[in-house]
Copies of this chain bind each other. A is one copy, B any other.
């Protein structure tokens, strides 16, 4: 997977944005990520975008409308795409090598996360308090993707390449460790230096050992 470095991959609709709308959009992302949605005023967005405050409301219905323009694509397009790709990668390779599988997944996700950190940060904070957004996440996992993922894990299990635990939990272990790695480095200690190569390698090693079927 050529992971999410491109802005338009993340926001396909944004291709049709005028320059001005784009300025507003990007300013909002930047400010929401820095201070949070509630702590960002339309006035600040306008100033950062270099346009008048009133203009915001020509391009977006609401202040909330900007937030949704940021968040909706993730739940509706990006997340399903990512997951679809996630399973396709594995399926295509038909590999039963756990280590290789984890290597792929982890690095992929980390790249994606790093490339889209601001938007993800906005997403996280909104998930905490907005029920409707939380529901979007659940619905964002398409049924077929879910099936694919299960198939793959099952395939690994059949090949005795992964531990015989509940598939959901396996997924959560993988996800938690990737997410924990990222959050601790990018959110909690953003100013601290670290040796990424070693840590990621250890992370994969750790997962591989934890999920290894052999006692």
Contact = CB atoms under 8 A, between A and B. Distances in A.
B127 A188 contact: yes
Contacts of A184: 172, 175-176
A199 B211 CA distance: 14
Contacts of A183: 176
A38 B35 CA distance: 11
Contacts of A211: 206
Nearest to A165: B202
Contact of A210 (B34, B36, B121, B207): B207
Interface in A165-188: 165-166, 169, 172-173, 175-177, 179-181, 183-184, 187-188
Q: Is the interface of A mostly helix, strand, loop or mixed?
A: helix
A28 to B, nearest CB: 15
A137 interface: yes
Interface in A190-215: 198-199, 202-203, 206-207, 209-212, 215
A55 interface: no
A176 to B, nearest CB: 2
A8 interface: no
A144 to B, nearest CB: 20
A202 to B, nearest CB: 6
Given A129-B125, A177-B177, A209-B209, A189 B36 contact: no
A159 to B, nearest CB: 19
Interface string A98-124: 000000000000000000000001001
Nearest to A180: B176
A39 interface: yes
B180 A177 contact: yes
